[in-house]
Amino acid sequence: MNPTTSFVIISLLKIVGIVFLVILPMVSYAVYAERKVSALIQDRLGPNRVGPAGLFQPIADAMKFLLKEDFTPAHVNKFYYWLAPCLAMVPAITTIAVVPFGSTLFGVPMVIADINVGVLFVFAIASLGVYGIVIAGWASNSKYPFLGGVRSGSQMISYELSLGLAVVPIFLLIGNLRLTEVVRYQIDHGWMVFPFAGDWKNPAGWLLAVPMWISFAVFAIAVFAETNRLPFDLPEAETELVGGYHTEYSSMKFALFFLGEYAAMITGSAIIVTLFLGGWHFPGVPDGSHGWIFGLINIFVFFAKIAALLFIFIWVRFTLPRFRYDQLMRLGWVFFFEIALVNIFLAAAIITFFDR
């Protein structure tokens, strides 16, 4: 087999394996987890009818979404009304292409595309995600979706700034935008926010953890805003806008918006894990070159970290109330933007002082 053919086949295997066998089931079970955890927090039972402990609920939900009548209201702009749900789902899944989800398995690096502009690719694709919501709001030809679309547009643009600025300290430190290099650095020097995993005796590593924690907080909160999760779910605030941008959608088209939000949460968590929490690295576990079993453990560690972050996403949603829209904008522009800017100077000063 020539190198091009084997490259194409291995890439296809990775794409199919990671997207269809891991991410999409994870999306549907994130919905189940959301319902179970919210039930736990609110002292209810949650779904418990289909299968043991309601474990087959996502399958029942999927059947319901598929079999429901697919209703297109008469007043909508048909083409864009159909286009919008696809645009909401695709960027969320595309982002995973550059994220290293494991070390190596049988000598094959566990990343779909290891390009040298890794994190910029993530931001570029994530910035396209806003089109799905804006177009849904506009094509619905109705006032509440329109308000939701407009809100979402300005919210996502505002928080993209904090998102982009928050990661600058990391790349000041590493000097490379490649995400595999970010993971490699964290294996050698300790995770960005927990330097104990590497050379924990080094004081510079602990001092650098201060700007990294600030970056981590700003980045994580911006991801909440980018994925329209509570406390920043103003584009679909049901008390103000009925259902926001997806008011006019039903059955599978609604499901695409709904699942797109969870896919965005998973890829957002994957980016957070890769940048701040050591990626697939766990202290004491060697990488995949020591045997395929370690390669599998690395992949498992990566997705376990994502699952832990998803739990925090759900926890926050059922703990905090929603912000008012002007508070949300003020928070983004006046608070996080400035903090991220000052944080860059702080990180640069520490890096220069210790000559890392």
Partner 1 sequence: MPSFLFWLFAIVMLVFGALVVINRNPIASALSLVVCFLGLSALFMALDAFFIGIIQVLVYAGAVMVLFLFIIMLLDLRAEERRKMNWFAFVGGFLVALSLLVQILAVIGSTRMAKQTFPPLASPHADDVRNVGLVLFGNYNLPFQVIAVLILVATIGVIVLSKRQLR
Site residues (CB under 8 A) for partner 1? 80, 115-117, 120-121, 123-125, 127-128, 130-131, 134-135, 138, 146, 149-150, 153-154, 156-157, 160, 175-177
The nearest distance, CB 168 to partner 1, in angstroms, is: 13
Contact 332, 207 (CB under 8 A): no
Contact 141, 78 (CB under 8 A): no
Beta bridge partners of 108: 105
The nearest distance, CB 133 to partner 1, in angstroms, is: 10
Report residue 192 as tokens: 């960005």
What is the residue type of 224? F
Which CB atom, from 81 or from 302, has the smaller least distance to partner 1?
Answer: 81
Contact 18, 96 (CB under 8 A): yes
The nearest distance, CB 99 to partner 1, in angstroms, is: 15
The nearest distance, CB 7 to partner 1, in angstroms, is: 13
Which CB atom, from 138 or from 144, has the smaller least distance to partner 1?
Answer: 138
The nearest distance, CB 20 to partner 1, in angstroms, is: 24
Which CB atom, from 117 or from 308, has the smaller least distance to partner 1?
Answer: 117
Which CB atom, from 150 or from 217, has the smaller least distance to partner 1?
Answer: 150
Which CB atom, from 17 or from 114, has the smaller least distance to partner 1?
Answer: 114
Cα–Cα distance, 351 to 298 (Å, whole number): 30
Long-range contacts of 32-38 (CB under 8 A, 24+ apart): 32/57, 32/58, 33/310, 33/311, 33/314, 34/262, 34/314, 34/317, 37/311, 37/314, 37/315, 37/318, 38/314, 38/317, 38/318
